[in-house]
A and B are shown apart, each in its own frame.
Chain A
Amino acid sequence: MPTLEIRDLHVSVETKEGPKPILRGVDLTIASGETHAIMGPNGSGKSTLASALAGHPKYTVTSGTATLDGEDLLAMSVDERARAGLFLAMQYPVEVSGVSVANFLRTAKTAISGEAPALRTWGKEVRGAMENLRMDTAFAERSVNEGFSGGEKKRHEILQMELFKPRFAILDETDSGLDVDALRVVSEGVNRAKEQTDVGILLITHYTRILRYIKPDFVHVFVDGKIAEEGGSELADRLEEEGYDKYLGANKTVSA
């Protein structure tokens, strides 16, 4: 069974004052079909984990390993990681002026699967996926993320996840900035992908709200660049009650 394995991962971010360590030894194993929630206070390194796994140039892995199905993820370029089956739904999707959503989706799909998708079935698939996410089909002609509302950007990220069919998807605070309706629509999209493709999911969130719609198999609490506690979905319920104060009290080195 395909797995995403992270072992003792240390990551620094480039700052003007030099490299600053953020992740201090993360261990995590995600198997296909599993949903892992990573929760934690602001500044604990959750999003750094997402960006570092995807290969963002701002982050440097200083030690540790990350493998996808035994393949060394960290040795791959950003696009190679995506083609190997890793997907990152970004917290702040970037605008690409003059490139239509339709063109972008087709180009990316072609890159990921190594061949252009069959025209007729692809068009149908895109339209169907957009309808499921309650996106107007006129959306396909707009420039990527340009002038999109926060909710539209997140739907567009999940649309890609459904269409590209990754083996592992990292959802980086996909729930942030969504109203309840949008949160439900987006969560349905994630659940559809889970049912249809057996994708393994790393769901990064500050809040427990999204976990009412997407049931995690495992919950990991991130504090100060490592996992401070792990458990099942009941751990999320406890965090809902208690918040992160307990962890921060003991380990107050990271500011938000």
Chain B
Amino acid sequence: MTTATTDLTTDHSRAVADGAHTHGAVKPQGSRAERRTSFSLEDIPIPAGREEEWRFSPADRLQPLFQADLGSSGVTVEVTAAPEVTVETVGRDDARLGTAGKPGDRTAVTAWNAFQQATIVTIPKEAVASDVTSVRVRGVSQDASAAHVLVRAERHSEAVVVLDHDGVGTLAETVEIVVEDGAQLTVVSVQDWADGAVHASSHRARIGRDAKLKHVVVTFGGDVVRVTPDAEFTAEGGEVEMVGLYFADTNQHQEHRLFVDHAVPDCKSRVTYKGALQGAGAHTVWVGDVLIRAAAENTDTYELNRNLVLSDGARADSVPNLEIETGEIAGAGHASATGRFDDEQLFYLQARGIPETEARKLVVRGFFAELIHEIGVPSVEERLLASIEAELEKSMSVITGAPTA
């Protein structure tokens, strides 16, 4: 579904699972299970732009990352680890790399083939990290580069790992996430690039028996940011919670394409992504593919995407896809809604003496509030609130024409 941004409201309660969008408006390209994945550049050629997985993307702006000759000088990677966590820098031949699934699109395959060194963050078995582990990926030049990060939570370990992306860079990145049996891992990836940055990131997660992954994606800055998180269950009892928050300004393209692969029984997935848009040319894309394979009985899944359009000229595309190959499921649903900032809400708040800019802020804060609390990492929540306030200041200047405070 491509949601037009007119005549809808921001009354989120009115969106219902199947009334809020149409099925079949987009001609499906066959099952997600048939999508080509490969480590080989030859298997996944440079896209023309009309392919299903690229049809919303600005292929021209992503061109540098489609090339096979990516370097490594454009970014630096620094890790500040919790004391229980080990950090290594390894070469391409390390056997632990490439175990969380194969690349599924062109930038994922160029990233895989070009990286020289990988950063491996390991939470040893049964270790409980006492602090957040921070991985800082900093763009230092516009040289198109590749980077590779692997986060391994060994069995029954617990940790929070936050990846931060900032500076100006042109980066194709792979983030592999391996959650072994019984482990509980939170991975937060923040894309807060400076203007001019172009970033394509393939997150590939494997979730073991009774393991839980909380995967959080936050996108604020950068010209083009395209994150494609894949999650695959390898044994029963696994759970994944995928949370995303994005805020696109004038001429920013922010794309999040998720794939949850329920290949085994008794697993649970929850996907909640919310985004706000403001300014001409702000474009967000959310695609949520969930595949429940024939063997995946007793699967429980729900995915939701909400977009709030704050000004004219912005565009939000939202496409939930649910494929179900077994009748024996515990629950499966999805919802998608895109609304404009609502004149009636504005009138109600203003009629209580609240000036327009303050009223808009209240509504946007309210839109994101619940989601932020779901993240469950206080230091990240605080930063997010501050970032949202900064975005709001920008948004008010767009709306009222007044200079930012």
Given the known interface contacts A57-B347, A77-B350, A88-B351, the answer about A98 and B356 at a Cβ–Cβ threshold of 8 Å is no
> Which parts of A28-48 form the interface with B (CB within 8 Å)?
none
Interface centre among B11, B350, B359, B362, by most A CB within 10 Å? B350
Contacts of B11 in A (CB 8 A): 94-95, 97
Q: How far is the CA of A253 from the CA of B366 in the complex (A)?
A: 44
Check: B43 CB closer than 8 A to any chain A CB.
no
Given contacts A104-B362, A147-B13, contact A98 B369 (CB under 8 A): yes
> What size tier do the contact residues of chain A reach?
20 to 34
Which residues of A lie under 8 Å from residue B358 when comparing CB positions? 107, 111
Interface centre among B342, B352, B365, B369 (most CB of A within 10 A): B352
Instruction: Tell whether, in the assembled complex, residue B362 and residue A96 are in contact, meaning their CB atoms are under 8 Å apart.
Output: yes
Main secondary structure of the interface of A (DSSP, over half): mixed
- Which residues of chain B are within 8 angstroms of A108 by Cβ–Cβ distance? 349, 352-354
Q: Check A82 against B366 for contact (C-beta < 8 Å).
A: no
Q: Which residues of A contact B369 (CB under 8 A)?
A: 98-99
A50 to chain B: closest CB distance in Å?
Answer: 10
Chain B 117-151 interface 0/1 with A at a Cβ cutoff of 8 Å (1 = within): 00000000000000000000000000000000000
Q: Are B349 and A54 in contact (CB under 8 A)?
A: no
Interface string of B338-355 (1 = CB under 8 A from A): 000011110111111111
Chain B residues with CB under 8 A of A99 = 362-363, 365-366, 369
Is A248 engaged at the interface, CB distance under 8 Å to the other chain? no
Binary B-proximity of A142-180 (CB < 8 A = 1, otherwise 0): 010011000000000000100010000000000000000
- Choose one: A54, A96, A97, A146; the contact of B351 (CB below 8 Å): A54
**Contact at A164–B366, with CB atoms within 8 Å?**
no
Q: Which of A79, A97, A103, A143 is close to B356, meaning CB atoms less than 8 Å apart?
A: A79
Closest to B306 in A: A97
Contacts of B10 in A (CB 8 A): 97
A108 and B367 CA atoms in complex are apart in Å by 19
In the assembled complex, B36 has its CB within 8 A of some CB on chain A: no
* Cβ contacts under 8 Å, B343 to chain A: 57
**In the complex, which residues 74-109 of chain A have their Cβ closer than 8 Å to any Cβ of chain B?**
77-79, 81-83, 87-88, 90, 93-99, 103-104, 107-108
> Does A96 contact B345, Cβ atoms closer than 8 Å?
yes
Question: Is A112 an interface residue when CB atoms closer than 8 A count as contact?
Answer: yes
The listed residue (A83, A93, A95) touching B353 by CB distance below 8 A is: A83
B348 and A111 contacting across the interface, CB-CB below 8 Å: no
In the bound complex, residues from chain B placing their C-beta under 8 Å from that of A90 are 348, 351
Q: How far is the CA of A56 from the CA of B350 in the complex (A)?
A: 10
Q: Write out the residue numbers on chain B whose beta carbons fall within 8 Å of the beta carbon of A87.
A: 351
Residues A94 and B352 in contact, CB atoms below 8 Å apart: no
Interface residues of B (CB under 8 A from A): 10-13, 342-345, 347-356, 358-359, 362-363, 365-370
Q: Can you list 12 A-B contacts with CB-CB less than 8 angstroms, sorted by A residue number?
A: A55-B350, A79-B350, A82-B350, A83-B353, A90-B348, A90-B351, A93-B348, A94-B348, A97-B11, A104-B362, A108-B354, A112-B353
